[in-house]
Chains A and B, each alone.
Chain A
Amino acid sequence: MTDSATEVHGRRRLHATRTFLLQFIEKRGAQLGLLALAFFIVMAAMPNRLVGPLQTAITATGIPLVPPSREQFLGTDEIGRDVLNLVVHGARISLTIALIATVISLIVGTTVGILAGYYRGRVDVWLMRLTDFFFIVPPFVLALVIAPVFVEVVGRGGEILGFRPSLFVIILVIGLTSWGFVARIVRSQTLSLRERTFVDRARVVGSNDLFIMVQHILPNLVPQIAANGALVVANAIYVETALSFLCLGDPLQPSWGTMLYLAQHAGAASAGAWWYLGAPGACVLIVSLSFVLIGNALDDTANPRRRVIP
């Protein structure tokens, strides 16, 4: 009894994925990045378990702007809240925003890229002109211009999908402005994949375009999308932090960026309150760097560089 072609195909794909992941894990950058990231994911997953509920102006118990001590591991902010408490809760906000926004970017970017690369011709030309705009204008600048307008449109009250409107807007805005980079890369990969014989074979058999794109081309794009996706996350973290720093975030669900905004406006820098501004910024740095390292490791695994051959 020989296996069907589909079963062999599926097994082979599983094997290829395993090989890829094993090669990826071996790289030191990947190990460092994943380790650091794991630490923050734990933080984001159970903040209440780790530091208790988010402190507010009412529940703040500490003396304002006190440096790190045994009771408050990272010191206090200007209204006496424990900075460690804020940072741990902020992890959830910052990470969630960045990850959801990235998912949006990846979906939009991949769709545009595959369509442009597969159909070519006029579809390609128009999609690429559109992509040009989103690729050339830095996501931060675009988000900066669009976000306040959207915030006005959406209003300030209530909740949308568990997020306060301003955060929801930020997620959407970052997601809809950061896809240009992904689209370009997906398109160029699609262009070359399209020329491969398995695509012709699929067409001869009679598969329709959508089937080919989803079942044949897309799986081959996954390593590259993953590699670029990690970089998009790093970028999204930066954009969210910067937007929140400019007061487009929400002080009631403070991300690390919002904390930096509060710190700046409390005069932390000139007051020498290094713990208040240092902690959230350091977190942003570490998480961002982790994603960059992971992204680079994924990219190296997906496109190994030519070694000097003896």
Chain B
Amino acid sequence: MSRRIVNVLIRALITLLMVMILNFVLFRIVPGDPGQLLLSGARGGATQEQITGLRQRWGLDRPLFPDQVTDYVSATFRGDLGYSFKFRGERVGDLLLKRLPATIGLVGLAQLVAIVCGVMLGLYVGWRRGSAIDKIATGLSLALYSTPAFWLGMVLVVVFSTSLGWLPGYGISSPGLANVGPLGWLIERIRHLLLPALTMAFALIGQYVVVARAAMSDVVTEDYMITARAKGLTSRQMLMRHAFRNAMLPVATLVTLNLGYVVAGAITVESVFAWPGIGSLTVEALNARDYPVLQGIFLLLGVSIIAANLIADLTYGLLDPRVRQ
């Protein structure tokens, strides 16, 4: 395996380790007795015995280092992420798995729309830089990039749900929907998906337009484009055979990196739309100070982001021959 790949892998591992360290440390610097925290919602209060018993069960009375650390690391690698405070008795891992599909569906769809539309638009205005449509597209992209996604969502709800009444403003399905058949079920799902997906797509499209445009306009000034023109290629041939491939290099990297942020990207938007995914779980856990769940989510985020960065690093060599060894 080449030196470069080994380096990249080591870096990823170190970053992962730092994620885990942060998780470990954070939970333990929170003031107050974790035992008490765990039982804070119990009816009638908890007795000292119950608190002590819980601490024993959770291994919180053992020395911090090395016992708690090794327990933590081994448990994590086994997939045991602990139990939720708020959702009594539920394993964090199960909770995450239950909520993951909704998030992936939402953000995945939004990313797809944003990538396809954003990249095409960006490449086009990069090719025709300075034109009227370039100015409009760039202005809009910058504005969308600067807009908080969740606020955009709220605005869309006011417009399309409250005022126009076309689409539902929250949730993944409406209550009281019995016996509508598979088509009706599908339509309902789509209706609920539309506003949050649109919100996220708008929030994400800006960066694709900006990056694709910058990439294309850099390529356009390169010498090999003059060579292509000298060879008698048509504008179209120059674009497709020479410009496109080179402009896509930074774009492909961006797309790969953003895959990692799929899980992280929707926290506030899911909150606005009460979308039952990881994002809203994060907010719920935050409000309930449900640390095991927060840790689990952070670990999940960390792993997916690191994995995406890793893939981007490794595959860049495939696209750009100058980087291959």
The answer to whether any beta carbons of A and B sit under 8 Å apart in the complex is yes
Interface residues, chain A, with chain B CB atoms under 8 Å away:
129-130, 132-133, 136-138, 140-141, 144-146, 148-149, 152-153, 234, 238, 241-242, 245-248, 260, 263-264, 268-272, 274, 277-278, 281, 284-285, 288-289, 292-293, 296, 305-308
A130 to B11, CA, bound (A): 10
The 7 A-B pairs of least Cβ separation, nearest first, read: A281-B151, A288-B146, A289-B146, A269-B157, A272-B162, A133-B18, A269-B154
A133 to B32, CA, bound (A): 29
The listed residue (B19, B142, B157) touching A292 by CB distance below 8 A is: B142
Please determine whether B31 and A153 come into contact, CB atoms closer than 8 angstroms. Answer: yes
A residues less than 8 Å from B31 (CB atoms):
152-153
A residues less than 8 Å from B309 (CB atoms):
136
Please determine whether A152 and B30 come into contact, CB atoms closer than 8 angstroms. Answer: yes
The listed residue (B15, B143, B147) touching A132 by CB distance below 8 A is: B15
A133 to B169, CA, bound (A): 36
B residues less than 8 Å from A246 (CB atoms):
267-268, 271, 283, 286
Residue of A nearest to B226 (CB): A308
Please determine whether A133 and B161 come into contact, CB atoms closer than 8 angstroms. Answer: no
Interface residues, chain B, with chain A CB atoms under 8 Å away:
11, 14-15, 18-19, 22, 26, 29-32, 142-143, 145-148, 150-151, 154-155, 157-158, 161-163, 169, 217-218, 221, 261, 264, 267-268, 271-272, 282-283, 286-287, 289, 294, 298, 301-302, 305-306, 309
Please determine whether B158 and A245 come into contact, CB atoms closer than 8 angstroms. Answer: no
Which of A145, A245, A296 has the most chain B CB atoms closer than 10 A to its own CB? A145
Please determine whether A144 and B143 come into contact, CB atoms closer than 8 angstroms. Answer: no
Which of B29, B151, B264 has the most chain A CB atoms closer than 10 A to its own CB? B151
Known: A141-B298, A269-B161. 17 other contacts (CB 8 A): A129-B14, A132-B11, A132-B14, A133-B15, A136-B306, A245-B271, A268-B158, A270-B157, A270-B161, A270-B169, A274-B155, A281-B148, A284-B151, A285-B146, A289-B142, A305-B218, A307-B221
A214 CB, min distance to chain B CBs, angstroms? 30
B277 CB, min distance to chain A CBs, angstroms? 15
A223 to B155, CA, bound (A): 37
A254 to B235, CA, bound (A): 55
Interface contacts (Cβ under 8 Å), in number, total 129
A260 to B158, CA, bound (A): 14
A133 to B301, CA, bound (A): 12
Please determine whether A145 and B26 come into contact, CB atoms closer than 8 angstroms. Answer: yes
Residue of B nearest to A288 (CB): B146
Known: A129-B15, A144-B267, A308-B221. A238 touches B148 (CB 8 A): yes
A306 to B225, CA, bound (A): 14
The listed residue (A264, A269, A284) touching B162 by CB distance below 8 A is: A269
A234 to B207, CA, bound (A): 14
Residue of B nearest to A285 (CB): B147
A residues less than 8 Å from B29 (CB atoms):
149, 153
A residues less than 8 Å from B302 (CB atoms):
137
Please determine whether A264 and B272 come into contact, CB atoms closer than 8 angstroms. Answer: yes
Known: A132-B15, A146-B26, A277-B158. A241 touches B142 (CB 8 A): no
